[in-house]
Amino acid sequence: MKKGVLICLIFAFTTNLPAQNSESIALNPPSKDRGKSVMSALWQRKSVRDFDTAKITHQDLSDLLWAANGINRPEEGKRTAPSALNAQDIDIYLFNETGVYVYNAKQHTLELVAKGDNRKLFSGPVATDSHPSLILLLVSDISRFRIGENTQKLEWAAMDAGIVAQNILLFCSSIDMVGRPRAGMNKQSINELLHLNDQQYPMLNIPVSYKKD
């Protein structure tokens, strides 16, 4: 009897853990009552070059992605980050040791894009033997802009990526995480890995981690 109860408890515990190798990972609802004030987050925000390797908790990851570009007005489908013409052109790809995932804001889930650790595709402080546990890649799909020539669309894309990046950095600052916005990356390899089309442009990558002791 005791053995049966123990097995049930173990099963219940393990099934509550996020399945990191699954095709789709459900994220937790965002916690709206956490973190420092906006002014405190701004005061303490800084870009770093030295990252911790500890894994980000599921709740912190869920809140980070929602803060970055999640839906905060479900009845309208509007995002935490404004975008030119409300095109919502920025997609967030998450690179970690198990694979690459894209954030589905409508479902608040992560969808598997590619398996394997591909963090080496990013240059700078993350191009070392010790990577931060995750890197966020901001990709603009300029086909979502209803008007404008490509030159204008790319200007809007850069603006929109910058706004999402600031959301990420301010959230990190508010819960004692750190990040660094970067443009350096192997774009050709990233395009091939993610099967991006000629209307999808990698704009920025942001390694994030907890503050290193």
Radius of gyration for the alpha carbons in the chain, expressed in angstroms and rounded: 18
pTM: 0.88
Q: Which residues of the chain have pLDDT under 70?
A: 1-21, 124-130
Q: Residues 206, 186: contact at Cβ < 8 Å?
A: no
Q: Residues 143, 127: contact at Cβ < 8 Å?
A: no
- pLDDT value of position 57: 98
Q: What is the pLDDT of residues 25-65, one digit of tens each?
A: 999 999 999 999 999 999 999 999 999 999 999 999 999 99
- pLDDT value of position 21: 53
Class of the domain covering 42-210: alpha beta
Q: Residues 176, 54: contact at Cβ < 8 Å?
A: no
- Residue 79 has φ and ψ, to the nearest 5°, of -105, 165
- pLDDT value of position 83: 99
Q: Residues 48, 178: contact at Cβ < 8 Å?
A: yes
Rounded to 5°, angle at Cα 34 from 29 and 39: 130
Distance from the first to the final alpha carbon of the chain: 46
- pLDDT value of position 131: 80
Instruction: Identify how many contiguous H helices and E strands the chain contains and give both numbers.
Output: 5, 9
